[in-house]
DNA sequence: CGGGGGTTTGAGTCCGTTCAAAATACGTGG
DNA sequence: CCACGTATTTTGAACGGACTCAAACCCCCG
């Protein structure tokens, strides 16, 4: 988790050449020459929690990659109501859908924690894409994964109860946020408000509160604010059962 | 609609060079040389209504394009329950998501009408992709569009009533299937069973029947089997109203 | 300490589900 | 072409999960 303590250093100090996140992203297919192009055109920046990386409707001029932190992708309707669509974490890319399909962002992005981002301008992306067809395949793969997730979310939302969906959400969040306690239980701090949870589950904040209460009664998970304790992973898994492959 | 009556002719008789569907698909970016590769490796075939093009779990060895007819994409869970995920029509491509993300199909495809398909083997796709980066961009664009649709469907399912979603479905189907009557009303024949409609809307067949009844009472649409008449498009549009951009 | 947003709780209602039965459409063979 | 068996569709009645509106509560921060 921390073989390189300098990864949180000053943004400008990091070159794409030795960026460990690049190795794990779709940018990993680039050769030396192309990495130089990437390095020249990328700019990185930091955001405080609550800060907005871009707004829905803004011109989409390139692609972001999360270097560290958690980013919320939100979508707002005509009434100004805004719903959380998904989360993005370190190593993941942001804004590439709009980059490939339209000229402006169809969502907004907001930092949920202190966040470091890298931005690659559209010209550079375009150039790299023609240089290296494998890069396109990387994005194709990424986009395909997102589509798969969206389709699964659709099935979950229309066939599973809020309680089951809540359990499923906890299960996915634990992979990224949970740490094991000595007694075998799991502890995690949610990056989300109750309203955000409601948005992801496709329900209301009140229902989320009630569902959380129900899970506590059955000792599946204990909530205190954003801190969650899962005493036994198995009982959480039992909540699922009826998922398709 | 019919400047070329021969387009429904024997599959083998059509070359990619003068295929009007190619012009409108992501294959349109290919140059003369690449079209030859495409033409050499493509094979076309016909399917009767109800016939399956491929099963979930089959090896994905290439990409299909619909030349004519309507294809249903279905997903089945472990219990064998199967749900309709989406429809694909002439000019659209099938199976490219699984092609780019995995090695086997995550869905099944079934002909809903007499269907003619073209199949391009993975080797040819791979070759064309490296020849021509623009082809990758085409698929990127396609995939991005699918993702956008899936996200919108997700929001609709979790925030709109079944009735509103039904109206929305009719609206999208009319674009492809409806014909105007002399009295200004629209007539269309649904390619879907009630159960299929229920799957798309994320509800039950019984609820679909009741919703249809309700729409008839309010004179928004009249159903007789799979035949639908929409007396006034405006009253159907009124059912929507609360959609986001 | 006194807001003020996010969260929880309560009570009542409604939409959609469930299970069951009736009705209709459909395909097949006589 | 009709009769029959099966599958789909419709209807009914009862139930229940999630929503709505509203008030109380609790932190967090100034």
pLDDT in tens, B112-145: 999 999 999 999 999 999 888 889 999 999 999 9
CA of B184 to nearest chain A CA: how many angstroms apart?
Answer: 31
Structure tokens, A226: 């954003």
Question: Beta-carbon neighbour count of residue A229 at 10 Å?
Answer: 16
Q: Quick check: B202 CB within 7 A of strand D?
A: no
Q: Which long-range contacts (CB under 8 A, 24 or more apart) does A36-41 make?
A: A37/A124, A37/A127, A37/A128, A37/A131, A38/A120, A38/A124, A38/A128, A39/A15, A40/A124, A41/A120, A41/A121, A41/A123, A41/A124
Q: Give per-residue pLDDT as tens, A45-94.
A: 999 898 999 999 999 999 999 999 999 999 987 666 778 999 999 889 99
Q: Would you call B141 an interface residue with chain A, using a CB distance cutoff of 8 Å?
A: yes
Band the pLDDT of A10: cuts 50, 70, 90.
very low
**Distance in angstroms, CA of A242 to C1' of C20?**
25
CB pairs under 8 A between A and B: 105
Angle of CA points A32, A37, A40, to nearest 5°: 120
DSSP reduced 3-state for B191:
coil
CA angle, B29 then B33 then B35, to 5°: 55
Question: Percent of chain A at pLDDT above 70?
Answer: 92
Reading phi first (left if > 0) and then psi (alpha if -120 to 50, else beta), residue A62 is in: left
At residue B19, φ and ψ (nearest 5 deg) are: -80, 115
* pLDDT at res. A19: 83
Residue A3 vs residue B59, higher pLDDT: B59
Strand D reaches within 7 A of the B209 CB: yes
Instruction: Output the furthest CA–CA distance in chain A (Å, rounded).
Output: 59
Q: How far is the CA of A50 from the C1' of C3 (A)?
A: 22
Res. A14: pLDDT tops 90: no
D5 C1' to B122 CA distance, Å: 46
Q: How far apart are CA A15 and CA A94, in angstroms?
A: 20
B120 is written with which tokens?
């391009």
User: Is residue A242 very low, low, confident or very high in pLDDT (cuts 50, 70, 90)?
Assistant: low
Identity of the residue in B101, B203, B245 whose CB atom sits nearest the CB atom of A141:
B101
Backbone angles phi, psi at A83, to 5 degrees: -125, 145
Binned at pLDDT 50, 70 and 90, residue A228 comes out as very high
Question: Rounded to the nearest 5 degrees, what angle is found at the Cα of A108, between the Cα atoms of A107 and A110?
Answer: 145
- Counting every residue, how long is chain A? 245
User: Quick one: pLDDT at residue B82?
Assistant: 80
At A137-165, the pLDDT tens digits run 999 999 999 999 999 999 999 999 999 99
3-state secondary structure of A222: strand
Closest chain A residue to B97, measured at CA: A144
Nearest to A178 by CA among A226, A124, A113, A136: A226
* pTM flag (> 0.85): yes
A157 → chain B, closest CA residue: B158
Q: Could you say which nucleotides of strand C lie within 7 A of any protein CB atom?
A: 6-11, 15-20, 25-26
Whether residues B245 and A78 touch (CB distance < 8 A) is answered with yes
Interface contact B240, partner A, CB < 8 A: no
**Contact (CB, 8 A) for A95 and A54:** yes
Dihedral over alpha carbons A155, A158, A163, A167 (to 10 degrees): 10
Residue pair B12/B110 in contact by the 8 Å Cβ criterion: no
């Amino acid at each position: 988790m921390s073989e390189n303590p300098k990864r949180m250093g000053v943004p400008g100090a990091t070159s794409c050449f030795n960026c460990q996140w690049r190795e794990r992203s779709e940018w990993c297919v680039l050769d030396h020459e192309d990495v130089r192009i990437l390095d020249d055109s990328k700019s990185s920046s930091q955001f405080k929690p609550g800060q907005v990386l871009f707004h829905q409707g803004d011109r989409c001029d390139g692609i972001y990659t999360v270097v560290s932190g958690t980013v919320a992708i939100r979508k707002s309707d005509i009434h100004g109501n805004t719903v959380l669509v998904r989360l993005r974490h370190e190593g993941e890319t942001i804004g590439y859908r709009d980059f490939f399909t339209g000229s402006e962002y169809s969502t907004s992005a907001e930092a949920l924690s202190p966040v470091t981002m890298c931005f690659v301008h559209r010209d550079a992306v375009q150039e790299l894409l023609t240089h290296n067809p494998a890069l396109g395949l990387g994005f194709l793969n990424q986009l395909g994964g997102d589509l798969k997730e969206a389709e699964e979310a659709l099935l979950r939302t229309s066939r599973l109860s809020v309680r089951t969906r809540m359990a499923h959400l906890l299960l996915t969040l634990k992979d990224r946020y949970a740490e094991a306690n000595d007694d075998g239980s799991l502890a995690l701090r949610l990056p989300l408000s109750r309203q955000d949870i409601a948005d992801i589950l496709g329900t209301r904040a009140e229902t989320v509160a009630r569902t959380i209460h129900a899970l506590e009664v059955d000792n599946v998970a204990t909530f205190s604010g954003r801190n969650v304790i899962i005493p036994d992973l198995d009982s959480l898994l039992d909540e699922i059962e009826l998922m398709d492959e």
